[in-house]
Amino acid sequence: MKLHPFPLIIGLSLYAGALIAQDTISRDSIPSTKEEKNRNVMLNASSDNQPRQISIGLPDGEAVDLFEDGTPVSYLFWPDYPYYSWRGGASYSSQNLLSLSESTLQYGKCTYVLGSQSLKAGEQFQGQVNYTTNIFGKQVVDANISSPLGRGWGFAVGTYQGFDPGSNHLDALHIQDEMHIYKANLSKLFAEGRGEMSLNYKYARYAAMPDNYGLFYYNGKDGSVDELPDFSLGHDQLLGDYAYINYISVKTGERMRRSMRRANLVSNHQMTFNLRYDLTEQTQLNISSKLKSADVNTMMMKLAGIFQATPADGYTYDNGTPYSGNIQNRYMLYFEGFERSWMTTAELTGRSSNQKHSWRLGLNEWWNRAGIYTNTGVYAHEAKAFPRKLLKDGEEASGYNEGSEYYDGHENRLALFASDDWDITDRLWVSVGLRMEWMRQQGNAALAFTDDGKTIEPANDRTYGFSLKQAKRNRFGTYDWLNPGFTFNGRYTLMKGFGLVGEYVYVKQRPNLQDYAGPFMPQVDPINVHMAKGGIFWNNSYVQLTSQLTYINQTKYKFRDQFTNPNDQSETVILPIVNDVATMGWTTDAVITPFKGFSFHGLLTLQNPKYKNFTFQPIFKDGPGQLYNFNDKNVIAMSKVIAELDPSYQTGDWRFWLSFRYQSKQYINRTNTLYFKGRWETFGGVDYTYSKHVAFSLNVINILNQKGASGSIAAADLATDVSAYQQHYLMSGTYIRPFTVELTTSIKF
C-alpha cells in the first residue's frame, strides 16, 4: 500500500501543537552545526560552471549535490547532473553548505550539499543585473527583479544567459558552455504575516561539451609534467573536428547521425511549491514540493590512450590519405536520458518553553522515474594540437556499443527524520538525529533477471544494439529496503571559549537506478558509511579554531572503469569494481582576525585514504588476467595533504582577497607505482563598491599559471613495471583552468 505524505504532515502539525507551550523565546548562543563554514565552493579551479567538491576522505562523486528551495535540484546525479539547471547568482537570496550531519538527515547521504534559496518579493521594488566577461570571451548576463503587488502578493522574475567559448576554443562546438535559465516566482503572505506560500517555475536549457584535455610529457621519476613545444595546455584544443557524430543506436541497431550541438542539449522544467507557516510563536511548518521534467542529451569524449600507427593499421584522413604517427583514441558515450520526479519535503521545527530543546520532525516523499540509452564507440584523431579526425578502415568509429547501457525504472523514497539540539547544562550541548528511509525500486534494464534477482544473460553485451521490445522484457525485480541513518554532535566547554567537540555519522545506502545500466548485475549489498570526528575548539575575539581527528569508512564503493590488457594494449574492457575505502585524518580549521579589516582563513588536512577489501581479476579476450590485491594501497586521485589559505582585507569601499589551495601528490594507478606531484590552485580579486547601486569585481584565476595536469595512463593502471614511464612519456589528461582575468559589474536598483 502506498503511503501519502499529506496525512502525516497534518498529524505531525497537531502533535507539535500539543507538545509546545505558547511562551515567546529567544535564540541562545549555541553555535549552529547545521552548516559548514569558511568554504567557498564557488571557487573551482577545474570548472567555472559548477561548485567545487570538498574532500571528506572518500573519492569524489560525479558532481556536487545541490538543493534548491528545500528539495534536491536533481533526484540523482545522473542522468541530469544538478549543474545542468543551476548557476546561482542574482535569482537567489542565499546559499549555504550543509554539514555532513545535516546532509545525512535531510538527504540520506554523508556528503556536503550546497543549499540555495530563491529570491522572493520584498517590501519594495528592487532589481539586480550582473554582467561578467573574461579574457577568453565569456559573456554572462544574470538579472532579477522583484516587487510587491499589494495585499500580501509579490513576484520575482530572473534570467541567466551564459555563453562561454572556453580557453581552448573548439571547432566541434564554438560555445563550450551555453546556459539559458528563466525563473518566475509568485508569493503570498497570509495570516497577518505568520504564513507565506510561493510558486516557483524554472526553465533551463543547457548546451555544452567542455573538453579540457591536453597533451604533455609525464616524468614518472618525480611525478612532474612538461609541456610539449607545440601544445599549450589550456589554450590548444585536443578534439577532432567532430561537427557531427555517427553512431549505431542502442535502441534499434540503426546507423544514426547527429550534430554535436543536438547531441549535447538538456531541457529542464521545474515547478516548486513552498509553504511556511508559524503554528505558534515557537513552532513552524515548512513544506517544499517540486515537480520536475528533464530530457537529457549529452556526450562524453573520454580519453582512451595514445598509440603509434602505421599505414598498415588502416587509419586515414577523410579524403582517404593514409595516416601514420601518434593517434589519440576517444571513447565516445552518447547518452539519451530523462528524469520525471516529484519530491516533497515537510519539516516541523520548534523550541521548548524552557529553551533547552530545539527539535525537528521531518518527512521526505520522493518519487523518481528515470532512464537512459548509452550509445558508445571508439573514435580516433591525431595526437597533436588542433587535430584532424581519422577513419579506421573507412569507418568513423569502431567497437560500436561495446559499453552500451540501458535502464528505465522508477524509485520511491519515503523517509522520516527527527533531531533534537539539547542544552543539557551551560557547558554541555548535544544534538542527536535519526533518519529511517524506506526505498523501493523497479524497472527495466539491459540485463535480464529471474524472479529471485539472479542474472539470466546480458541483453546487449558487445552487440550493435537491442530492440526496445526485447529490453522491456528484461525487468529487474522489485526491491524494498530500509536505510537507517544516525547523527550525533556534542560540545563541552571546559572554560570560556575553549572546549571539546565531537561528531558521528552513520548512514546505510543501496544501489541507485543507474547501477542497473550496464551488462552486469549490480551489487545490492548495503553500503555502510561511518564517519567520526573529535577534537577541540577555541574561540575568542581574534581566533575561531577547530582541530579534530577524523575517521571515515565506506563499504561497497561501486564504479565502472576501463582496463587495458597488459599483454595487448589495443584491448580495453569496461568492468564493474566494488571495494571499500577507509581514511584516517586530522583537520585544523581557523579564522584569524588580528586587526580591523583583515581576516585570514586557514585549513590543513592530513589524511591517508586506503583501499580495503579490494581484490580484482580482469577478464580479457586471452582469458583471465592476473589476480590483483589492492588492499591498503592509496586511493588514486586523492591527496594526503590538503591546505587552504585565504587572506582578505577590507578598507572603505575596497576589498582585496587571495585564496591559495594546495594538494599533495596523487597516485595515477592502483598499483601506486606512478603519481602526479602536488600542485597549487590560486585565486585573487579586488572588489570595489562605487555606490549603493554599482559595484565591480576583478578576479584572477590561476595566478601562478600552474598547469595542474592530471589523468590516468590506461596501459599503466595495473602496471608494476613502470620503466617505460620514467622520462618524457607522452600522455594526455585534464588540466586546471589557465591564467584567467574576469570582470563582473553589478547594478542594483
- For residue 455, the enclosing domain spans 5-148+155-748
Per-residue pLDDT, 404: 84
Tell me the torsion sign for CA atoms 718, 721, 725, 726.
positive
Q: What band does 474 get if pLDDT is binned at 50, 70 and 90?
A: low
Banded model confidence at residue 570, pLDDT cuts 50, 70, 90: low
Residue 566: per-residue pLDDT: 73
Q: 473: helix, coil or strand?
A: helix
- Whether residue 687 has pLDDT greater than 90: yes
Instruction: Report yes or no: 532 and 550 within 8 Å, Cβ to Cβ.
Output: yes
Q: Is the pLDDT of residue 413 over 90?
A: yes
Residues 585-598 have a mean pLDDT of 96
Could you please report the per-residue DSSP string of 147-164?
EEEETTEEEEEEEEEEEE
pLDDT of residue 133: 97
Query: Looking at residues 369-396, what average pLDDT do you find?
Result: 93
Q: Is the pLDDT of residue 326 over 70?
A: yes
370/554 Cα distance (integer angstroms):
26
What confidence tens digit (pLDDT) does each residue in 604-640 have? 999 999 999 999 888 887 777 788 899 999 999 999 9
Residue 26 pLDDT: 29
Average pLDDT, the chain: 88
Q: How confident is the model at residue 3 (pLDDT cuts 50, 70, 90)?
A: very low
Percent of the chain beyond pLDDT 70?
91
Contact criterion met (CB below 8 Å) for 456 and 445:
no
CATH number at residue 211: 2.40.170.20
339-358 confidence digits (pLDDT tens): 999 999 999 999 999 999 99
For residue 354, with 0-12 CB atoms within 10 Å meaning exposed, 13-18 middle and 19 or more buried, which class applies?
A: exposed
Between 146 and 457, where is the model more confident?
Answer: 146
Number of domains in the chain: 1
Of 7-11, 106-110, 130-134, 700-704, minimum mean pLDDT range: 7-11
pLDDT of residue 338: 97
The percentage of the chain sitting over the pLDDT mark of 90, rounded to a whole number, equals: 69
Task: Give the residue, 690 or 243, on which the prediction is more confident.
Answer: 690
Q: What is the DSSP string of 101-114?
A: HHHHHHHSSSS-EE
45-101 pLDDT tens trace: 888 888 988 889 998 887 889 999 999 999 998 999 999 999 999 999 999 999 999
Tell me the three cell numbers of residue 591: 579564522
pLDDT band at 447 (very low <50, low <70, confident <90, very high): low
Using alpha carbons only, what angle is made at residue 682 by residues 681 and 688, rounded to the nearest 5 degrees?
Answer: 150
Task: Specify the pLDDT at position 17.
Answer: 37
Q: What's the pLDDT tens digit per position in 212-232?
A: 999 999 999 999 999 999 999
Which pLDDT value is given to residue 142?
97
Give the pLDDT confidence of 124-140 residue by residue, as tens digits.
Answer: 999 999 999 999 999 99
More confident residue, 374 or 404: 374
Contact indicator for 206, 178 with CB cutoff of 8 Å: yes
Q: Which of 185, 175, 81 is nearest to 137 (CA)?
A: 175
Query: HEC profile for 384-439?
Result: CCCCCEEEECCECEECCCCCCEEEEEEEEEEEEEEEEEEECCCCEEEEEEEEEEEE
Which residues does 236 contact at the CB level (< 8 Å), separation at least 6? 168, 214, 385, 386
* Cβ within 8 Å of residue 59, ≥6 positions away: 557, 581, 609, 635, 637, 638
Residue 669 amino acid letter? N
State mean pLDDT over 553-565: 82
In this prediction, residues 253-264 reach a mean pLDDT of 91
Write down the pLDDT at residue 115: 95
Residue 188 confidence class, pLDDT cut points 50, 70, 90: very high
Q: What is the pLDDT of residues 85-120, one digit of tens each?
A: 999 999 999 999 999 999 999 999 999 999 999 999
Q: Which three cell numbers stand for residue 237?
A: 584544443
Confidence of residue 264 (pLDDT cuts 50, 70, 90): very high
Structure confidence at residue 718 (pLDDT): 79
Residue 32's pLDDT is 59
